[in-house]
Amino acid sequence: MTTKPVIAPSTENTLSRRGFFMKLGVLFNGFATMVLAVPIARFILSSVTRGQAKGYLSWVPLGNVTNFPEGETRMATFRSPFVMPTDGKTVDTACWVRRISGNQFQVFAINCAHLGCPVRWFPQSGLFMCPCHGGAYYRDGSRASGPPERGLFEYPYKTENGVLTIEAGQLPTPGDPVANVSAEKPPCA
């Protein structure tokens, strides 16, 4: 009885089932890594590009200067310059305007510096109060007490032709260079 010689299959061009699933797994892992890496890279690089791009900031009018009497703090509303069709009433934003004297103002974001709850102005005590966690701020926006570690955020403002305008489009935050500058200025009486 003669036996036929057994010819082993060539291992160069064939792919085993284990090898196929191994390559498929590496492909899927690479895809998942890319999907996760893009938002993480954008987050890390956003601090670098934040100062370069002004984004959606623009000057928005709050009203005539005469609407804000000297020595008083009043609420004003403005429409956010960046509007999406689905935003509805959320584009109407409030702020607190304090007229110190003449054309010298302070325009505060309505949000508490602690967790963003809306603060209210109490003229009887001369304080801004946050109802969520008991944060309090003096009339100049500096921290009085409570959990906030800093004063209220301020919008940059200017007056032209008797109209008070602010630079709006994003909420001032600790990472915003303009917000940090206004937070470090000495308190006004």
pLDDT in tens, 21-57: 999 999 999 999 999 998 888 888 876 665 544 556 7
Higher-confidence position of 183 and 100: 100
- 164 pLDDT above the threshold of 60: yes
**Helix (H, G, I), strand (E, B), or coil: what is residue 45?**
helix
Closest CA to 65 of 159, 183, 175, 170: 159
Pairwise CA distance, residues 81 & 91, whole Å: 8
**pTM of the entire predicted model:** 0.60
Average pLDDT over residues 167-189: 53
| pLDDT for position 25 | 95
Instruction: Please give the average per-residue pLDDT across 145-159, as a whole number.
Output: 86
159 vs 81, residue with greater confidence: 159
Instruction: Please check whether residue 135 is in contact with residue 112, taking contact to mean a CB–CB distance below 8 angstroms.
Output: yes
CA–CA separation, 128 and 122 (whole Å): 6
- Band (pLDDT 50/70/90 cuts) for residue 1 is low
Q: Beta partners for 157?
A: 166
- For residue 175, pLDDT over 70 is answered with no
Per residue in 70-113, pLDDT (tens digit) is: 888 888 888 877 777 777 777 788 888 888 888 888 888 888 88
Instruction: For residues 9-23, give the mean pLDDT.
Output: 80
Residue 20: CB partners within 8 Å, gap ≥ 6? none
pLDDT at 68 > cutoff 80: yes
Q: What is the DSSP letter of 76?
A: E
pLDDT of res. 31: 93
